Amino acid sequence: MSIDIDLVKHIAELSRLDLGEGLNEAEARVAWEKMTSDLASIVGHMDIMAEAETDNVEPLYSLPTEPAGPREDIPSEVQSAEDILAQAPDRLDNYFVVPKIL
Amino acid sequence: MSQMEPVIGLEIHAQLKTATKLFCGCSTSSGRGPNPNICELCSGQPGALPRLNAKAVELAALAGLALGCQVNEVSIFARKSYFYPDLPGGFQTSQLDPPICQGGGLSLEDGAFIRLNRIHLEDDAGKCIHDSQRGQSLVDLNRAGMPLIEIVTEPDLRSSAQVVDFLKKLHAILVHLGVSNGRMEEGEFRCDVNISLRPQGTEKLGVRNEIKNLNSFRHVAQAIEYEIVRQQRLYDDGQSLVQQTRLFDPARQETRALRSKEEAHDYRYFPQPDLPPVLVSAELLARLKASMPKLPQELKAELLAQGLSEEQAAVLLERPQSLEYFQKAVAEFSEPKKVATLMLELFLPACQREGLKALDAKLKPSQLAKLASLMASDTLSRRAAYDLFPQLFAEGGDPEALAKASGKIQLSDAGAIESLAQTIIEAHPEEARKYREGQEKILSFFVGQLMRQSKGAANPKVAGEVLARLMKG
């Protein structure tokens, strides 16, 4: 798989990331190029796996089912809603508050 | 300008009827303000690990069996990634390939068979409220992690009427099987509509538009009608259609573009590494098949065979517990048509007014059966039954005892009616003469008099016969 700067920018857009935030144009270009070459190197390393012989091998999607198999449909007794709300950077009553989105 | 044919496919989300969410032990209850039931998992805290709800798997498999799907022994979950504050983990846990159920379908009233593509399990997102005054958004994650099945049809539907018929049938099956409560106003059954037009008689699909999140049968029909006209107009004007996601605005009765294909999501599906495959064993399938109740279609056929009308059958299948109530009453008085008529005219409207499920009413099925049998044997007139009903419904009890106590037992005995009739004829010699001269319509005047004087207790049919005989004789 080839990684180019357009693909990195697309992935960043999907993830709401801006590598150039707070940088001038030249610095930003360096940041994007560095990420592109880093990612290309990581993905290139992963490509070694593509050399493995996998004909007639069933895909393994996960490790054995225990201990994380299905659970009974019984409500948990632990109530953690207040703990979680307390961690929120901003809240209004029991709502989480986030920057305006549309 | 050629005649265009609508091609419609549906994606239906139904919330499964479980006590807990799909991957955590949070309760599925709602209605206690924002965020009452959230935990580390469904609020997307790093490191929290999901565990699948076994009941949700059973319900999804049950839906698949009822809809004639192939239920896969092994299916897997996948992460569907997108960024939005209602999705705290940054991904929805859904199924891509293979899903839990594949294939299947449902027959419509008009004979068309609508094929299903698949049914898969997934969790719901939370809810955002946009607070424009403060320039911020409020997030309620109570719905985040609720267990859903998404049912996807093939593009086999051709009109809004077919779509509504399909959705009503599907809804009835899911509610009947206990797969979902199906409360549409709560978002427990909602529908995305994919619609395109193509020249009649051609095969190639046109550019489609998707209308998201419709949660009433009426809105589905209105949105489709609007969309057909809108797309037809674009074709007539020679404009090309852009693939879009649209929202229906019930207030304006129109659909509006939400996003176009250029802005379409790239969901980057990949197998969810935190969850083992979903297993549906042969034993579980056998158990589900054995415990499967009769489907609405089969029950309807049985009710029609018992002599009920289409409408009666539909109402009994639709209202909560009313079929069970009906069956219990018929076990006591085996005149299904009469029991159904009494239920539809008096009993079910009263239940609806009081917000009661049929079996929670004070008037028990055996007592309603008794009331129907008293009416059938002419011991109680229709009018008397209507008069007594409110008290019977409010308090329950033996209809015969109540009828006797309030003097409503019908006089069917010709002798008792005869003396009353004689008195009335003597009191109205002028009218009696007109009747003898051939004005037969005036008989109803005498019957009315007799009913009034007997305080509704006389059998009007017998009264009419006696009066006619006395005046003509």
- pLDDT by residue (tens digit) across B27-60? 999 877 899 999 999 999 988 999 999 999 999 9
Average pLDDT on A62-73 reads 75
Q: What's the predicted TM-score (pTM) here? A: 0.76
Phi, psi of B449 (to 5 degrees): -60, -45
Mutate to test the interface with A, among B35, B93, B97, B128 (most CBs of A within 10 A): B35
CA distance A36 to A16: 17
Specify the pairing of strand B244-249 against strand B209-214: parallel
Q: State pLDDT tens for residues B274-297.
A: 998 999 999 999 999 999 988 888
Q: How confident is the model at residue B412 (pLDDT cuts 50, 70, 90)?
A: low
CA distance B447 to B441: 11
CA distance B203 to B231: 18
CA distance B95 to B78: 5
Per the CB < 8 A criterion, the answer to whether B208 and B194 are in contact is: yes
Contacts of residue B35 in chain A, CB cutoff 8 Å? 81, 84-85, 94-96
B419 and A CB contact within 8 Å: no
DSSP track, B93-124? EE--SS-SEE--EEE-TTS-EEEEEEEEEEEP
Query: What is residue A72's predicted lDDT score, i.e. its pLDDT?
Result: 95
Looking at CA atoms only, how far is residue B228 from chain A in angstroms?
28
Residue B452 or B126, more confident:
B126
Query: What is residue A65's predicted lDDT score, i.e. its pLDDT?
Result: 55
Mutate to test the interface with A, among B275, B281, B284 (most CBs of A within 10 A): B275
* Interchain proximity A75–B19, CB inside 8 Å: yes
CA distance B258 to B251: 17
Residue B408: pLDDT above 80? Answer: no
> H/E element holding B309?
none
Query: Comparing B78-87, B155-164, B317-326, B350-359, which segment has the lowest mean pLDDT?
Result: B317-326
Written as six digits, the tokens of B414 are: 């010709």
Closest Cβ–Cβ partner in A61, A65, A92 for B271: A61
A46 and B CB contact within 8 Å: no
Residue A102: pLDDT above 70? Answer: no
CA distance B126 to B146: 9
DSSP track, B45-106? -TT-----BHHHHHHHHHHHHHTTPEEPSEE--EEEE---TT-TTSEEEE--SS-SEE--EE
* Interchain proximity A61–B82, CB inside 8 Å: no
Closest Cβ–Cβ partner in B40, B55, B129 for A80: B40
Residue B86 CA, chain-centre distance (Å), reads 29
B355 and A CB contact within 8 Å: no
Written as six digits, the tokens of B134 are: 């403060």
Closest Cβ–Cβ partner in B27, B129, B273 for A62: B273
Q: State pLDDT tens for residues B45-99.
A: 988 999 999 999 999 999 999 999 999 999 999 999 988 889 999 999 999 999 9
Closest Cβ–Cβ partner in A62, A69, A100 for B136: A100
Across the A:B interface, residue pairs with CB atoms under 8 Å apart total: 124
Contacts of residue B82 in chain A, CB cutoff 8 Å? 14
Contacts of residue B129 in chain A, CB cutoff 8 Å? 95
Secondary structure (H, E, C), chain A: CCCCHHHHHHHHHHCCCCCCCCCCHHHHHHHHHHHHHHHHHHHHHHHHHHHCCCCCCCCCCCCCCCCCCCECCCCCCCCCHHHHHHHCCCEECCEEEEECCC
Q: How confident is the model at residue B460 (pLDDT cuts 50, 70, 90)?
A: confident
User: At a CB cut-off of 8 Å and minimum separation 6, what does A1 contact?
Assistant: A43, A47
Contacts of residue A97 in chain B, CB cutoff 8 Å? 136-139
Per the CB < 8 A criterion, the answer to whether B447 and B435 are in contact is: no
Specify the pairing of strand B189-199 against strand B147-153: unpaired
B200 and A CB contact within 8 Å: no
CA distance B289 to B71: 12
- B60 HSE (CA, 13 A, CB side): 32
| Residue type present at position B416 | A
CA distance B66 to B60: 10
